[in-house]
Every structure is written in C-alpha cells, then in structure tokens.
Structure 1
Amino acid sequence: MNISMLLDMAVDGFGDRVVIGRRAAGLTASRLDELARIGAQAVRRSGADSIVYLAVNGPAFPVAMFAAARAGVPLVPVNYRLGGEQLDALLANHPQAMGIADPEQVAVLERAGLDVRTPTEWLDELSAASAGDDAADLESDSDAAAVIIYTSGTTSAPKGVLLRHENLTSYVFGSVEFANADETDAALVSVPPYHIAAVANVITNLYAGRRTMVLEQFTPQQWLDTVRTECITNALVVPTMLARIVDSGVDPLIPTLRGLAYGGAPMPTRVIERALQMWPEVDFVNAYGLTETSSTIAVLGPDEHRAAVESSDPAVRARLASVGIPVPGVEIEIRGDDDVLGPGQVGRICVAGDQVSAEYAGVGRMVDDRGYFDTRDEGYLDADGYLFVGGRVDDTIIRGAENIAPAEIEDVILRHPAVSDVAVVGLPDEEWGQRIEAVVVLRPGVTVEADELRSFVRSSLRSSKTPDNIVYWDDLPRTETGKLVRRHVVDRLGAKTSPV
C-alpha cells in the first residue's frame, strides 16, 4: 500500500480543505495531489531514482514527498546542518537523484552532480505545468522505500534508514482515525524535514484532515504568536523548545490550543509540570519513537499526565517521567543478555510490529528471528506496562566495574532549581576505568558551586554515582530535535585536565 493512497483518500474525503500552510494561502488536498502528480511526471521524465531534499521545512516538502511516492522513488530529506565533508559523503549515495535545496545549499547538490532547484523554483515549476496523460498512478508497492532518513549520528556516523510504504501506512492506520479533525483544526510542527516526526506529521495530519504548517525558525515569541494568529489547535515541540517557552516570561495565552505533543529527547520533570500548570486545559502527549520504527511506538496520554500530577501515589506520579504504553500494533520487550526481563528490571528496549522498519541502506533489516528490533535504548516496563526510557546503551558509564546510566544522574541534577541543562558522560580514568564528568548549564542570573551540586546528587544517589568533576558551559551540543550529541561533549571535555 503506497502512501499516495492517503492523499487519494484525503482528496475524496475533503479535497477542498486547506491541509498545508497558512489559512489564507495554503494548499488544499486537491491542489497538493495535483502538484504531486505533476512532480511525479517530472521525476519520471528525468530518470531520477530519488528526490534529495536539502532545505528547511515548508510546503515544498509534502509536495516532494507525495511526488516521490507517485513516481515510485524515495524521498531523501537531508540534514542541512551537516558539514561539507559529511554532506558530500551522504550525497554520494544518491548520484541519480533530483535535488531540491535552499539557495545557500544549491552549490552543494550541484557539486554532487545533481539537477537541482530551490523549493520556490520547484513549486513554481509545478504550478506552471499541467498534468498530462502520463499522470496515471503507478501500481501501489508497499514493499518499496518511501523515505530514506539518515540518523542524527549523535553517537556514530549517520546511517540511512529505509522506511517502506508498508511501514508508514501501518503507522498511520494504527494511530489515526480518518477525517477525525474539524475543518478549522490546525497543527504547528517545529521540527526539521530530516526528522521522522516531520514525515509522520505530514501523513498523519493529512489523513486526519488537519491543516499543517511549520515554524522554520523557532523562538518562544514567534511560536506563541503563530499559535494565536493561525488559531493552532495542535502542536508538536521538542523538550528544549517547551523549556524555552515556559521560561520565556512571554504572555502564554493561547486560547485555541487543545493538544501539545512532545518527544525526541527526555523531558525535564520541572518543565512539564510547569507547562501543565500554565495550560491546564491543554491535552499533553509524550510520544516516544525512533526513525527505525516509523515514529511513535509508545504514548503517555493527556489523562495520564493529569493523573500523575494530581496523584499522591508515588508509582502513579512517577509515570510523568515515562513515555506511556505501546501504541496498537506494537509489541515491546525489555531484554537482558539472554532473556526477557520482568517489570522494573532495566534492560534493552526491543520492539516489533508492522511499522518497524529497522532496515539500513546497504545493511538490511536488523531484527532477530522473532522480528524484534533492538533499539539500543535502555529502559524498563513497570507492573502496569508503562515504559520508562533511560539512555542509550552506548552511553553507559563503566566505573569500577559498575554500570552507570548517565540519564539517572542527569535527572537528579535537573531537579536543582539553578540548573537549566546537563550532560553526564564517562571519560577514561586509570584507576576506575571511567570517571563521571558532568557539564552543567545554569539558569540565567543564578550560580551554584560544584560541591553543592555533588551534595545534591548524593542526597538521591549513592556516592559512586556522584560526578567526579563538574564544569559549566553556556550551552550543550544538541540537535534541532533536542537530542544531546554526547560525542561532542566527550571530545570537548577530553582536553580538560583539572577538576572543578
């Protein structure tokens, strides 16, 4: 089943409804379909075997996605923040692609030998053309690659994840009810196009009948202004964005907002608690997923958020730090070295289901004989099936033969009122194997001594998990979706020789 079927259903169900962009000048479902068909013709005539998209998010992105789907080739959204050497290496994998790039990135695709146009030129080119006789749909092929997304490379070199039409449509059908949105509903997406959430939001909001618009450059003021002026009812942010919004001091009144989803990185408890107090009528959703799983595999819903903050039961309150329960069609197991672990036992999060791709270009599917994919995330399920995510298995600090999860220490440090952000990593140590280093970003205008922070950690965790050294930085290296790039922290700390 090709994802273009989702567009077909939208055209049949609400073809005249604006589904992309601003209310006044956005694309209707029918116009999106028309442009996608013309775009597919252009792809077929060019002989391109993919569409490389090296640009910020915007209306050209969904047009390119469905044009690629109708042409039977994958869309390859590329991180425009990569360095020149990384981009060249990545683009070498797609020598026969058609290119769409922002003006400042055109030369990068031309250097790779691609036929390239800007998003504006792409839309103008399609708008000036008309669908010809060769605009007929290809046979639906659910086994073909719909999108190739390169992983963020926070711990290693980026890998191309193949998401097939079957994976994406399974995700949509399992998580969204067709045409369940009102005509006035609108979603604001604040993630870049090379992130799985951007792809997922295009197809899920379209299937629901909800207009989608993107915020290309995030600031708290611009986000709040856009929610108000565009009467946004649903929004997606990453934790760092929500933290900046609630700490901004800007007027938070957004009367049309009904739902706010977040994910992509751990959410500090103080931030979500403050957001729930700021907007008590808003339904908050924590969504956990990976590129390899076609987006969301577990959800903590609105009622669970409210129950957690209102409960006096520690087990229920703790769920505010969870990512909820698996979505329909997804199975989750917590694995140890040789077996499946029980409730409360920490191990590797493994997942199975039709939406799970777990397939890398040039490598193949990375699943076991039961179809489970090892996410390489650590976590546990509680007695009621709520999933708690720690950190990456690769991030584990081994200090004196003890395995220590950085996320556990980070969570404690973030509770200190002076701390805005933190990263905990392990560095080589002759005596202990690794020593624990913490990098702390303080809230504006406040200070705290390293010894005070160590004592704060020791009040919750044993001394072996207390950072050996603490340093202060102005900010941490994070991706646009809020993921901490630990290898950059380790690289920068490697030159430090004296403790604080």
Structure 2
Amino acid sequence: MQEDRLADAVASPGIDYDAMPRLGDIPRYYAQLRPDNVATRFEGRDTDWAELDRRSDRVAAALLESGCRAGDRIAYLGKGCDAFFELLFGVARAGMVLVPIQWRLASAEICTILGNAGAVMLFAGPDQLDRVVECGQGVSRIVAMEPGQGDWPVFAGWRDGGTGPAPAADAVDPGDVALQLYTSGTTGEPKGVMLSHRNLLRGRSQAMAASMPWNEWEEGDVNLVALPLGHIGGVGWALVGYFNGATSVIHRDFVPAQVLDAIVRDGVTKMFLVPTALQMLLMLPGVRAADFSRLRHILYGASPIALDLLREATEVFGCGFAQQYGMTETCGTIVYLPPEDHDPAGNSRMRSAGLPMPGVELRIVDPHSRELLAAHAVGEVETRSVANMVGYWGQPEVTAQTVDDAGWLRTGDAGYLDADGYLYICDRFKDMICSGAENIYPAEVESAIYGHPAVQEVAVIGVPHDKWGEEVKAVVVLRPGAAADADAILAHARSRIAGFKLPKSVDFVAAMPRTPSGKIMRRKLREPYWAGRDRAVN
C-alpha cells in the first residue's frame, strides 16, 4: 500500500558523507550502515548493499587480473542495467576510468569515441552485438554483459572468476579521474569530459550540509533511473541516489508506460527527467488516474521547459518540482529552482534557472572582453566550484579555452543574474539569432509558441536572409490528431512576444532530430538552409 510505504520511510540517521570521498567508497559505506537494504532493483532482481559491495570488489580484482592498470579507460556500451553499477564501482576501486558510451550514437561515432578514449576493455550490452563487431577491433578485450553475445566471456562469470584481492580504499586519490563522459555534440565533435571522484562527490556533500528540503533524502527513498547512462543526467543522477543510500530502480531505457508503472509499483519518491520525457508521460492515457502519493519530488533539466508544460506536470503529479541547470563539465547541477518558486499561476522566477547550489559561484561576463557585467545585463555565464571538470581528454588547448587559470568555466550560455542572485538563461550563444541589429534568443520564441494547444514541440532557428542576415524560423511538431497552420501559430505567438522576434515562417515535421540525451539538434535543423555557405551565421 502507498500509505504503508510512506510510513516506512523515516529520516536517515546521520550519514557521514565525508566517509565517501571516492565512488568506490559508496557501496563499502552502506554495506556497513544498511547491509540488507536494497541498493539496486532491476527487472524484478534486487541487490542489497552488502552484495553490491562484494561484487564491486570482485570487479576490481578481475580488472587487475585482466591486465588493466590504474588510469586505464574501460568502456561500456549498452542500456541501463544493475551490472553497470557493479562495473562502475569496481572500476572506481581499481583506480581506472569508466567511459560509458551513449548507446543511441551511430556506429561511426562510437568508433570515434573508442579510439579517442584508448579503451583497453569494452563491456557490451545485449543489443550492441553488431556495433561491437564493427567498432571493437581496437579494444584488446570484450566482455558481454548478458549471455548469448557471441564468444565473448559473460560479465557475471568474468567478475566471479577473479581470485585476487581488491585494491585498498586509499590506493585511489579523490582527485583522480573516475568518469569520462563524451559531450552530446549538438554543435560539433564530442569531447571527452574528465570528472574526478572529488568533482562528482564533494559538491554533493556540500549540498547535503545545506538546508534544502527538496534535496534531502530519507531511508526508504526510491530513486528512478531511466535516462541514458552515457549522459550526466543518467549516470550523474543515479550516483546522487546511491550517494544518499536510496534504492535505485534501473530501467534499460525510458519507455513511458514502463516508467509510469514503476512509479506506482516501486513507490518511487524521486526522479530526474528531461522535459521531453515529462511530456511523454503526460500523454499516456492512464496518467491522470495513477497514484502518485509517494512521489515527493521530480527534478527536471537538460533543456528549457515551457511554462505551459510545467503547469500541466505540476497539476498531474501533485509533487514538488525542482529545476536543475548544469552541464557535463560541471558534473550536472550547479543551479536549482526550488519547489517554492514554482507557481502554477506563473511568476517571474519560473522563467529563471534558479539559484547557485552551495559552494557554486556564478558570474556574467562580456563574451568578448570578459569584463564583469552588472545585474540584468546579458552576457556569458561562468561558474566556479569543486564540481568543475578536470579537463577535456587529450585536448589541453580546448581545456584552457574553457577553464581559466582562476578556475572559472565558460558555459557558452547567454544569461543574466537578477538582483536576488537568480540566474536567467536566455539561450546558447551559438544558438542566438542575429537579425539586423537585434539579438533573438530561440528559447523565448519557443516558449511563446509552445502554449498553442496544437503544438507538441517547437524549435526555433535562424535561417539566411539577404537583407537582415538571419530571419527567425519555427519548426513545429503537432500533437497527435491536432491540426494548425502557420498563420494560427504565428497569431498565437504575436500576442506574447515583440514583432521583430516573431518567426517569419513555420515548418511542420513529424519528429525533431535529437542527441542521445534527448536535446534537440538545432544544428541539424539549420543545415539545409545554410548548405553551400562558408559559415552557418551571417
């Protein structure tokens, strides 16, 4: 019963986050504190903390016996599963670096990442056989995560075949790189973002010391993990749940009906989703009849959310919402908009990304002179915190262009801070449309169009114009069964934004091109209009 499970959830006893400075410390710590509590649930299979701790040790020992050494890159290609986290914690204990690859990538992209990372081992999911055959030739050893994948050894047998001891906990320095994630590449070739144990965990410790009810966890909490593990929104969010001793319910992929069932069946209390996934859940026939009484908070981020979608989600789920802003290079969340700033009637703060997380510094600078700007002046957002990446793998020059000597990281986002310290994101600088003397931010135009009842999704891009340099074009996906023409959509937007921001044309498409993490690829939408030109901006 939902009420019984709520009653079972009691405030966590004092968790010593300082006892977990490395990823590999997490299962070790909870194996002592809560050995019989469920750490991972996957397709009806439960693993308690004591067993997760033992398996993590076996993975570390097996990696060493396979000839891997500290600092080696260990790649994972596959969907979500419980064994992934045994691998993650085991790789961390062995002082190696896990490289989760987004399984939605094309074979050519996967080959590029494997080559760039120099992976010495590859762990492959059951649906990746063809691509492993194509891309795995340069990897010295391949392990199948499940049986029935060619002649490769199977993970469970490989793991349990290790007979040597796991490394001592203090053999790994918290400053060592633990995770290497490849950026989604909405604007170009992916880069390998190196994140250390300290990057991933220290900021979370600081956050837990602050008084933020939406960020607090209880013994008995259940965390849903359904986003790709090759993305910070997937693996990073999963680590938040593990770090707080929650039960993590792992899904292979985001399948809306399965996620809805899990929220109710498993008593999910917290989850992180991107706006597109939220919208998919809201379109399910039974969503308004489902029991969400155990669900306390939904965190959302990775792309802007339209106010109309946020209002609908708030009404249906009846829980607290907290917006998260961050990037792979900052280990995810550095800015949050708390539930108390979410008003279904709308308010000015709902247009913001929110406030800096504890220990995070923000500033707005002129993108050219790098001079500090005053409140409400739009410039480039920069951030400094312990969560800032170590750097880009094998690209010291690009790292130096992104993070200065004082530790300030350039986000590439255009935004401003108000007088109360709230951050407002206008758009990516590279997505900004320059029409005549005006700078137009697509997110603002998209929000104006999204409220039309026939619009399911919208992306706004700049296309060439001989006189003005660029003009605004909207690309729209209509809701199933809905009908609308360009005039109706533009009439709706005209009352919400200035005339110079209004799209001059509307294209209708069946689906948006997306990165594996779910972000709309405006670059792909722009390409046909800029083909044959020297640059993709006038």
Length-normalised TM-score, structure 1:
0.91
The Cα RMSD (Å) is 2.3
SS of the equivalent of 1:133 reads coil
- State how far apart, in whole Å, the 1-side matches of 2:337 and 2:216 are: 20
Task: Please point out which of 196, 199, 214 is paired with 2:250.
Answer: 214
Query: After the TM superposition, which of the residue ranges 90-99 and 402-411 deviates more from structure 2?
Result: 90-99
CA distance in 2, matches of 1:349, 1:52: 32
**Partners in 1 of 2:348 and 2:192 — Cα distance?**
35
1:51-92 Cα distance to aligned partner (Å, 9 max, x none): 100010111221111111111110000122222222212111
Paired residues of 1:377 and 1:391 also in contact (CA < 8 A): yes
Aligned to 1:65: 88
Q: Distance in 2 between matches of 1:133 and 1:144?
A: 21
Q: Secondary structure at the match of 1:9?
A: helix
Distance 1:128 1:181, change over 3 A: same
Label 1:392 to 1:73 Cα distance change in 2 as closer, same or farther (>3 A): same
Q: Aligned to 1:92, what secondary structure does the other structure show? A: helix
Aligned residue number for residue 314 of structure 1: none
Which residue pairs with 1:373 in the alignment?
409
Instruction: Tell me the residue number matched to 2:392.
Output: 360
Give, in whole Å, the separation in 1 of the partners of 2:345 and 2:440: 31
> Is 1:173 matched with 2:209?
no
Confirm or deny that 1:257 pairs with 2:283. no
Q: Give me the whole-angstrom Cα distance separating, in 2, the residues matched to 1:34 and 1:130.
A: 12
1:247 correspondence with 2:283: yes
Residue 458 of structure 1: CA displacement?
A: 2.9
Question: Is 1:323–2:359 an aligned residue pair?
Answer: no
Match of 2:141?
Answer: 115
> For residue 50 of structure 2, what is the amino acid of its counterpart?
S
CA distance in 2 between partners of 1:492 and 1:443 (Å): 25
Deviations 1:148-200 (A, max 9, x none): 00000011110110001121121221233699744432111221010112222
Secondary structure of 2:104's aligned partner: coil
Match of 1:90 in 2: 113
Letter of the 1:477 partner, please give it: P
Instruction: Tell me what 1:27 maps to.
Output: 47
1:130 to partner: Cα distance: 5.8
SS in 1 for 2:178: strand
1:415-463 residue CA offsets vs partner (Å, 9 max, x unmatched): 2222111111112222221222110111222222212322333323232
Task: Tell me whether 1:453 sits opposite 2:479 in the alignment.
Answer: no
Classify 1:299/1:375 alpha carbon distance in 2 versus 1 (closer, same or farther; 3 Å).
Answer: same
The change in CA–CA distance for 1:125 and 1:138 in structure 2 (over 3 A counts) is farther
402, 418, 428: which is aligned to 1:382? Answer: 418
- Pair 1:310–1:86, CA change in 2 (3 A): closer
Q: Is 1:266 matched up with 2:304?
A: yes
The residue type equivalent to 1:226 in the other structure is A
**Which has the larger displacement, 397-406 or 372-381?**
397-406
Q: Structure 1 residues 81, 221: CA separation in 2 closer, same or farther (over 3 Å shift)?
A: closer
The aligned amino acid for 2:385 is G
Matching residue's letter, 2:143: R
- For the residue of structure 1 that corresponds to 2:344, the secondary structure is helix
- Paired AA for residue 246 in structure 2: R
On the 8 A contact 1:309/1:320 being kept in 2, the answer is no
For residues 197 and 502 of structure 2, what CA distance do their matches in structure 1 show?
A: 47
CA distance in 1, matches of 2:255, 2:108: 30
* Greater CA drift, 264-273 or 138-147: 138-147
Conserved 8 A contact 1:168-1:355: yes
For 1:42, the equivalent position in structure 2 comes to: 62
The alpha-carbon deviation at position 123 of structure 1 amounts to 4.1
SS in 1 for 2:425: strand
Cα deviation, 1:124-148, whole Å, max 9, x if unaligned, reads: 1256346533554451312221000
Q: Is the 8 A contact 1:268 1:414 kept in 2?
A: yes
| Other structure's SS at 2:54 match | helix
Alpha-carbon shift at residue 3 of structure 1 (Å): 2.1
Q: 1:145 and 1:233, CA in 2 relative to 1: closer, same or farther beyond 3 A?
A: same
Q: Which residue of 2 aligns with 1:442?
A: 478
CA shift for structure 1 position 96 = 4.5
**What residue is the counterpart of 1:13 in the other structure?**
33
1:172/1:203 contact within 8 Å kept:
no
Counterpart position of 1:296: 333
Q: CA deviation at 1:493?
A: 4.9
TM-aligned CA distance change 1:123 to 1:228, over 3 Å: farther
Deviation string 1:360-401 (CA, Å, 9 cap, x unpaired) is 111234312331101001112222112122221111111123
Q: Which amino acid aligns with 2:137?
A: R
Alignment of 1:384-403 (within 5 A): 384-403=420-439
Aligned amino acid, residue 116 of structure 1: I
Q: Which runs of 5+ in 1 are unaligned?
A: 312-316
Gaps of 5+ in 2: 1-20, 148-153, 533-538
**Structure 1: distance between partners of 2:454 and 2:386:** 44
Letter in 2 for 1:290: M
1:333 aligns with 2:363: yes
User: Are 2:315 and 1:277 aligned?
Assistant: yes
Among 476, 484, 490, the residue aligned to 2:526: 490
Residue 217 of structure 1: CA displacement? Answer: 3.2
Q: Does 1:426 align with 2:462?
A: yes
CA 1:371–1:136: 2 relative to 1, 3 Å: closer
Amino acid at match of 2:365: R
The one-letter code of the counterpart of 2:354 is G
Structure 1 residues 421, 136: CA separation in 2 closer, same or farther (over 3 Å shift)? Answer: same
CA contact (8 A) 1:265 1:481 kept: no
1:489 counterpart letter in structure 2: L
> Does the aligned pair in 2 maintain the 1:70–1:138 contact within 8 Å?
no
- Asked whether 1:2 is paired with 2:28, we answer no
Q: Give the TM-score taking structure 2 as reference length.
A: 0.85
**Number of aligned residue pairs:** 488
In 2, distance between residues paired with 1:465 and 1:271? 22
Q: Retained in 2: the 8 A contact 1:390–1:405?
A: yes
Cα distance in 2 between the residues matched to 1:126 and 1:378: 48
CA distance in structure 1 between the partners assigned to 2:218 and 2:438 by the alignment: 53
**Secondary structure of the residue that 1:423 maps to in structure 2?**
strand
Q: Which moved more, 1:190-199 or 1:96-105?
A: 96-105
C-alpha contact 1:187 1:210 (8 A) present in aligned 2: yes
Q: Deviations over 1:67-121 (max 9, x none)?
A: 1111111000012222222221211123442111123423245323341112235
Distance 1:407 1:295 in 2: 20
The question of 1:75 aligning with 2:98 is answered yes
- Select between 438-447 and 117-126 the one with higher mean Cα deviation: 117-126
Q: Distance in 2 between matches of 1:85 and 1:325?
A: 39
